[in-house]
């Protein structure tokens, strides 16, 4: 069987890490593209040489003057093209500039890789993946946004540290839009199978500490932006997208939180927002609708409303989306 082809559209901080992880996991051959031609070629060459040391069997190449045509026939496209935020900026501040990038990238996917499974990472995530789907003309099962795996990983990391247990035994779940009103779900998050409210009763941490970790998860991206001074997080975002790509390519059918297209689930229509979904060879094979209590529902609806206002803003900027 031919090797899978993974196209990375955008070869910046996340794109470079995606290429390294995809190589280490031998997910397939990797083509890197970027509007800055030398970036894709240079990183691909560097990573092809790292393969000699790490021993991974993957061909890496960077697009030259052919630009987007290099993604032709890709099985998976991971999109990070655009700009990241700077300290003091919200993800929403990126909307105008990154929407134009989605238009270009969407047209390229439509022309060169219409059968790919597309994972979008560009912010503001939920609105960008919604727009990218329209520009690329893809079915809902073949395009998804990465955010929930990352937000849940952040929550997981804080919980493991506070409880003093192995991160392997913590399973945290965060749904909703990838913004400051995302929804960390304590009832559905567990340590060694014990839901978080019971972990408080067991004395793993106090309710105040748990509340602080929820707050820190919500602003987890901003914390890293402020520390870095330039650019935003890239290791954990790349690892998260690779987990999604791997589930597709290896038909693992992992149930992961990701920005999936809702068509009536949770009573929501034509919106991308973070929900639990099963990713297998069919792409997004199922959106799993969880039972939410009143409080969770209210938080989810607030988060959805924020996403929908960004989608409306996209429609105003780009009438083709209306």
Active site residues per annotation = 178
50 binds ligand A3D (CB under 6 A): no
Those residues whose C-beta lies under 8 Å from the C-beta of residue 81, and which sit 6 or more positions away, are 9, 10, 34, 35, 101, 104, 105, 122
Contact with ligand A3D (CB under 6 A) among 35, 107, 140, 255: 35
84 binds ligand A3D (CB under 6 A): yes
Least CB distance to ligand A3D at residue 17 (A): 8
Q: Exposed/middle/buried for 294, CB within 10 Å: 0-12, 13-18, 19+?
A: exposed
Name which of 69 and 298 has its Cβ closer to ligand A3D: 69
Binding mask 143-172 for ligand A3D (x = CB under 6 A): ---xx--x----------------------
How many residues bind to ligand A3D according to rule CB under 6 A?
36
Those residues whose C-beta lies under 8 Å from the C-beta of residue 302, and which sit 6 or more positions away, are 181
Contact with ligand A3D (CB under 6 A) among 104, 111, 295, 309: 104
Name which of 104 and 309 has its Cβ closer to ligand A3D: 104
- Give yes or no for a contact between 59 and 29, defined as CB atoms under 8 angstroms apart: yes
- Give yes or no for a contact between 58 and 51, defined as CB atoms under 8 angstroms apart: yes
Least CB distance to ligand A3D at residue 141 (A): 20
d(C-alpha 118, C-alpha 113), whole Å: 9
Query: Which of these ranges, 13-21, 41-49, 109-117, 212-220, lies near ligand A3D under the rule CB under 6 A?
Result: 13-21
12 binds ligand A3D (CB under 6 A): yes
Least CB distance to ligand A3D at residue 99 (A): 11
Compute the Cα dihedral for 80, 82, 83, 89 and give only its sign: negative
d(C-alpha 270, C-alpha 263), whole Å: 6
Name which of 83 and 212 has its Cβ closer to ligand A3D: 83
d(C-alpha 6, C-alpha 136), whole Å: 17
Residue with the two structure tokens 């993974």:
6
Binding mask 247-286 for ligand A3D (x = CB under 6 A): ----------------------------------------
- Which token pair is 37? 């031609």
Name which of 44 and 163 has its Cβ closer to ligand A3D: 44
d(C-alpha 101, C-alpha 82), whole Å: 6
Name which of 92 and 246 has its Cβ closer to ligand A3D: 92
Contact with ligand A3D (CB under 6 A) among 28, 123, 276, 314: 123
Residue with the two structure tokens 């991971």:
78
Those residues whose C-beta lies under 8 Å from the C-beta of residue 148, and which sit 6 or more positions away, are 173, 174, 175, 178, 256, 257, 258, 259, 274, 275, 276
Q: Which residues bind ligand A3D (CB under 6 A)?
A: 9-15, 33-36, 39, 80-85, 94, 98, 101, 104-105, 121-123, 125, 146-147, 150, 178, 231-234, 237
């Amino acid at each position: 069987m031919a090797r899978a082809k993974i196209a990375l559209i955008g070869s910046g901080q996340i794109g470079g890490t995606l290429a390294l992880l995809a190589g280490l996991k031998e997910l397939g051959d990797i083509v890197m593209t970027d509007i800055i031609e030398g970036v894709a070629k240079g990183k691909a060459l560097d990573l092809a040489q790292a393969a000699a040391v790490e021993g991974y069997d993957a061909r890496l190449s960077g697009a030259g003057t052919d630009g987007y045509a290099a993604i032709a026939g890709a099985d998976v496209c991971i999109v990070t093209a655009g700009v990241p935020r700077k300290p003091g900026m919200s993800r929403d501040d990126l909307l105008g500039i990154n929407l134009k990038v989605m238009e270009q990238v969407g047209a390229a996917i439509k022309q060169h890789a219409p059968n790919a499974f597309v994972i979008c990472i560009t912010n503001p995530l939920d609105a960008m993946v919604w727009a990218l789907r329209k520009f690329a003309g893809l079915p809902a099962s073949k395009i998804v946004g990465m955010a929930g795996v990352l937000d849940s990983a952040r929550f997981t990391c804080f919980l493991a540290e506070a409880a003093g247990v192995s991160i392997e035994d913590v399973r945290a779940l965060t749904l909703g839009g990838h913004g400051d009103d995302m929804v960390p779900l304590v009832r559905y998050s567990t340590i060694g199978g014990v839901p978080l409210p019971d972990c408080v009763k067991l004395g793993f941490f106090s309710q105040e500490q748990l509340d602080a970790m929820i707050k820190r998860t919500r602003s987890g991206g901003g914390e890293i932006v402020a520390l870095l001074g330039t650019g935003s997080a890239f290791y954990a975002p790349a690892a998260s997208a690779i987990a999604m790509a791997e589930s597709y390519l290896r038909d693992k059918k992992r149930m992961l939180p990701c920005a999936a297209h809702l068509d009536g689930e949770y009573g929501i229509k034509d919106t991308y927002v973070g929900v639990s979904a099963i990713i297998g060879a069919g792409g997004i094979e199922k959106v799993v609708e969880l039972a939410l209590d009143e409080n969770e529902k209210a938080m989810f609806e607030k988060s959805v409303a924020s996403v929908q206002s960004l989608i409306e803003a996209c429609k105003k900027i780009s009438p083709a989306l209306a």
